[in-house]
Amino acid sequence: MAVALIAGAQEEGKEELMELWARLLANAMDPSLNTVRHSFIATVKNMDPVDAVVLRYIHEENITHVGRGHTPEGVGMTGTANIATVIGRRSDEVEVSLRHLQDLLFFDYVNNSWYANATSREFLRACYPEVRPE
């Protein structure tokens, strides 16, 4: 697994994605963690830099679901426009990123909202083991 992670990281030129590669590699090398799945390697290869930025924001803010547009913020919820404002991107970019992350099986889309699922939680645990999302 470490060889695949190193190979993927060497091919990456985008800073936002290099951080994910480094975090996954550190996890894979730590025998007390080692929660990296082979599917996570393929997933990072298919991510765009803005996907990593959106995913990191969702992780840092403990977001469990994201609505479309301006959504009243509450515990674990926000909207695409709210995220866009904070990360300095257009709302459409955030929505496209969420759709792409949904295609990568990180989110389920129900009733005009994206909901973090087990795949996103496990990926985030692998990338950010210092914080254990529920």
Instruction: Encode pLDDT of 105-130 as tens digits.
Output: 999 999 999 999 999 998 888 888 76
Domains in the chain: how many in total? Answer: 1
**What Cα–Cα distance (Å) separates residue 22 from each residue in 13, 14, 97?**
13, 12, 21
Range(s) of the domain holding residue 41: 2-127
Domain CATH for 53 = 1.10.10
Residue 28 covered by a domain:
yes
Residue 36 covered by a domain:
yes
**What Cα–Cα distance (Å) separates residue 80 from each residue in 2, 42, 54, 63, 92?**
35, 26, 10, 12, 8
User: What are the tens digits of pLDDT across the range 54-106?
Assistant: 999 998 899 999 999 887 777 889 999 999 999 999 999 999 999 999 999 99
Residue 132 covered by a domain:
no
**Number of Cα atoms under 13 Å in the Cβ half of residue 28:** 18
Residue 9 covered by a domain:
yes
Residue 134 covered by a domain:
no
CA-wise closest residue to 98 among 47, 61, 134:
47
Residue 11 covered by a domain:
yes
Relative to beta strand 107-110, strand 113-116 is antiparallel
User: What are the tens digits of pLDDT across the range 34-53?
Assistant: 677 878 888 988 999 899 99
Residue 133 covered by a domain:
no
